[in-house]
Amino acid sequence: MLIKDIYAATENLSPSNVIGQGIAGKVYRGVLANGWPVAVKHIVKNEHAETFLREVTSLSHIRHPNLVSLRGYYDGQEECFLVYELCTNGNLSEWLFGKDKNLSWIQRIRIALGCACGLWFLHIYPEGCIVHRDIKPTNILLGVDMEPKLSDFGLSRVMELGVSHVSSEVRGTFGYVDPEYRHNHKVNAAGDVYSFGMVLLQLLSGKRAINIMNTDKPMSLDKMASTLIQEGNVLEFADPRLNGNYSVEAFDVSLKLALSCTGTRSSGHPWSKLCRG
């Protein structure tokens, strides 16, 4: 993609078009010459060249309804750009924690299913398992029909066929990183499974991944859920904003699935049955 097309789409990177700010740079709303609405990530290359390379490597050749589409990119000497489809409903974090937004029970389940299908696709990719490494609500974008799309592949790793794991420094977001990965530095699909479990717990509860109200002894969301189960108070875990409008049976099944994800220590895919219907 030509640099002039990117600047034209974003009105010369106008501050009024900024829709996000990440570690690697700002994200701008734009419209390409063909009419496609896009989100353009601006990356300062000398600081985050690795992020750019990983995103292009992971997304340039794969397509799935639950993965954000890379429309194009520009690779310059000092700066580079990634051009994605624009997801008009923002990210999951805004809907879970925003004061003026709320998700119905059905929307939450559909988002969970879509995320699971996207991850399953990545993990069984024929050319090698793609591990995302940073699954969290801010990296789950929502399309026009609230369909989820996994985004931000700046930390992703591709494992060659037949390889069970790759060693790496611990990367990811506090509260979503598999404790075992923090201990052994082995990257594999199990790390994404754990992160997915934490996101599913958030969809059920509307709570943050870590309870920071008690700064002396913060409790992770999976520990909180396990405690409520042991005490027989499962429904206390439900997001009050659901107003009781959910299937108790489906809630119980979803909660157990989430805890199986945060408790699993294998490269299995507990969501494969969900994706197959």
Catalytic residues: 134
Asked if 111 and 273 touch (Cβ cutoff 8 Å), the reply is no
Which residue, among 77, 52, 80, 71, has the nearest Cα to 152 in the 3D structure? Answer: 52
- 39's CB contacts (< 8 A; 6+ apart) are 19, 20, 27, 28, 29, 30, 83, 84, 85, 86, 87
- 132's CB contacts (< 8 A; 6+ apart) are 119, 122, 139, 150, 153, 155, 156, 192, 195
Q: Which residues pair with 30 in a beta bridge?
A: 38
- 231's CB contacts (< 8 A; 6+ apart) are none
C-alpha span between 66 and 45 (Å, rounded) = 28
Distance of CA 114 to the CA centre of its chain: 11
Q: Which residues pair with 31 in a beta bridge?
A: 37
Which residue, among 55, 62, 63, 5, has the nearest Cα to 34 in the 3D structure? Answer: 5
Burial 225-257 (b: 16+ CB within 10 A, else e): beebeeeeebeebbbeebeeebeeeebeebbeb
Asked if 127 and 115 touch (Cβ cutoff 8 Å), the reply is no
